[in-house]
Amino acid sequence: MTILANDNIDDHLRQRGVLRVFTRTVEALAERYGPAVLLCSSQRYPQLAVRQRRIARPPGRPGQLLDAYLGLHDRRASLVAARERAALVYSAYYGAVRARAPQAYTVYDMTIERFPEHFPRHSQIVRAFIAEKRRCLERGALLLAISETTARDLRAVYPRIDPAKIVVTPLGVEEVFLAEAPPPPSAARPYFVFAGNRGGYKNFLALLRAFARSGLAASHDLRVFSPGPDSFSGAERAEIGRHGLGPVVHLITGPSDEAVRALYAGAVALVYPSRFEGFGLPVLEAMASGALVATSRSSSLPEVGGDAAWYFDPDSDDAIAAAMALLAGLPADARRDAVARGRERARPFTWGRFKRLTVEAVERAVPLRDP
C-alpha cells in the first residue's frame, strides 16, 4: 500500500503556513502508516522519516498559481501515483493530480474566490486556478479545513460539495513559541510587530497609515517580518515616505522561529489588520510567545484569538490607531494578566491534536489497510 504525499507548494519561502501544515500532515500519516507514505517533492525533507521521491522543477517560474495553471509538477506526481498504485493521494495545495485513488486536500481559505480584485494582474491564471481548485474540492474524498470559518466559507462558496467530507483540523503552535525563555534584551525603543505577507487583503498599508495617525511613531518603532520580498514595494515606500516613517519602520525577512519568538516577546503588541484569514497563525504564535495581539474582527481571527486579543475594524485607520494607542498605554499589571491570558488561549492549539484529528478523518473517509 502507498499513500502519496504530494508537495506541490510552489514557493516554500512565501507559503510558510502552507508548508507547516503540509509537513505536519505528512508526519501524522507517517506516524500512523509508516513506510507506506511516499513523499513527492522538489525539496528534501530530512526531518521526515518517510520514503521520498524527488520531482525536479524547471527554474524561474514566478509562483504557485502559475504552477497550478500549468500543472507541471502534478503531471509527474500522477505518473508516480499510477506506478505505485497509490491507495490515497494527499496534495499540499490542490493541483492537477489524476489518479484512481481517493484524494485528500487541505482547505486553507476562500480568499481568491472572495477577493478576486486583489489578483487583477493574473486574472487568467486566477480563473484557471479557481477552476482547478473547484475540481479538486468536488472530487476529493476528504477536505481538511483548517478552521471552522474555512469550513463554513467552503460550504457557502461551494454549496454542492457534500458537507460530510469536510472535517475541521485546527492548526497548532510550534513548541518553540510556548517554551519558557529568558526575557529578550530591552529594545532601544518600544516597538509593534506586523507579521506575514503584506499585499492586498493583508492590509499593511492601512497599518502604516494608522501608525502615523496614532502619533506613536515619535516614541515607537514598527518591525515588519515577512517571508518576502526583502524590500518594500513602491506603494509601501510611498506610504512610508508620505508620513515620514522611514527611520522607524524596519523590515526583517525570513527569520527563524526562534528569532520570531524573540521578536514577539519583546514587542508592545502584534498588530494584524488582515481583512480575511483562513486561520491566522501569527495571532496564535504571538500569544504563545507572550505578546499582546490587536487584530481584525473578521473571518477566523476571533476564532483563534478568543477573549485574549483586542479587535478592531480593519477598514478603519482610526480604529487600528486607537487599538495601538490603548496597548501602548496599558498598565504593567493589566499587561501581565493579558499575556497570561494569551498564553493560556494558545495552549490547546497543538500539532498533536491536529495530527490526531487528521488521522481520524483519513481513517473514516478512506479506510486503508495497515502496511
CA nearest neighbour of 196 among 276, 254, 128, 127: 254
Q: Using the predicted structure, report yes or no on whether residue 256 has a pLDDT greater than 60.
A: yes
- Grid coordinates of 257: 522561529
pLDDT of residue 125: 75
Every domain range in the chain assigned CATH 3.40.50.2000: 3-172+350-365, 175-346
Q: What integer is the mean pLDDT of 154-183? A: 93
Q: Using the predicted structure, report yes or no on whether residue 227 has a pLDDT greater than 90.
A: no
Q: What integer is the mean pLDDT of 260-284? A: 95
Q: Using the predicted structure, report yes or no on whether residue 55 has a pLDDT greater than 90.
A: no
CA nearest neighbour of 102 among 75, 77, 81: 81
At 199, the pLDDT band (50, 70, 90 cuts) reads: confident
CATH classification number, 175-346, choose in 3.40.50.170, 3.60.110.10, 3.40.50.300, 3.40.50.2000: 3.40.50.2000
Q: CA-CA distance, 212 to 273, in Å (whole number)?
A: 15
The more confident residue out of 186 and 321 is 321
pLDDT of residue 138: 95
Position 182: which residue type? P
Q: Using the predicted structure, report yes or no on whether residue 73 has a pLDDT greater than 90.
A: no
pLDDT of residue 368: 80
CA 98 from centroid of its chain's CA atoms: 26
Strands (E), the chain: 3-6, 37-41, 51-54, 88-91, 103-107, 142-145, 166-168, 191-195, 221-226, 249-253, 269-272, 293-296, 310-312
Q: Using the predicted structure, report yes or no on whether residue 67 has a pLDDT greater than 70.
A: no
Q: What integer is the mean pLDDT of 37-51? A: 93
At 58, the pLDDT band (50, 70, 90 cuts) reads: low
Q: If residue 323 lies in a helix (H) or strand (E), which one and from where to where? A: helix 317-328
Instruction: Using the Cα atoms of residue 195, residue 255, residue 230 and residue 23 in order, give the sign of their dihedral.
Output: negative
Instruction: Using the Cα atoms of residue 327, residue 224, residue 9 and residue 275 in order, give the sign of their dihedral.
Output: positive
- Grid coordinates of 129: 486556478
* CA torsion angle 308 313 317 318 (round to 10): -80
Q: Indicate the average pLDDT of the chain.
A: 91
Measuring CA to CA, how many Å separate 130 from each of 251, 268, 276, 301? 32, 39, 18, 24
At 185, the pLDDT band (50, 70, 90 cuts) reads: confident
At 56, the pLDDT band (50, 70, 90 cuts) reads: confident
* CA torsion angle 216 219 223 224 (round to 10): 30
CATH 3.40.50.300 is the classification of domain 3-172+350-365: no
At 62, the pLDDT band (50, 70, 90 cuts) reads: very low
**Residue in this structure with the C-alpha cell 483563534, named with its chain if needed:** 304
Q: Using the predicted structure, report yes or no on whether residue 118 has a pLDDT greater than 60.
A: yes
Q: CA-CA distance, 128 to 251, in Å (whole number)?
A: 33
Q: What integer is the mean pLDDT of 227-243? A: 91
Question: 48-62, 137-151, 238-252, 302-316 — which is least confidently predicted?
Answer: 48-62
CA nearest neighbour of 328 among 162, 202, 190: 190
Give the predicted TM-score (pTM) of the model: 0.91
pLDDT of residue 68: 46
Q: Using the predicted structure, report yes or no on whether residue 326 has a pLDDT greater than 80.
A: yes
Q: CA-CA distance, 261 to 284, in Å (whole number)?
A: 11
Bond preceding residue 120 cis, omega within 30 of 0: no
pLDDT of residue 148: 97
Q: Is 121 helix (H, G, I), strand (E, B) or coil?
A: helix
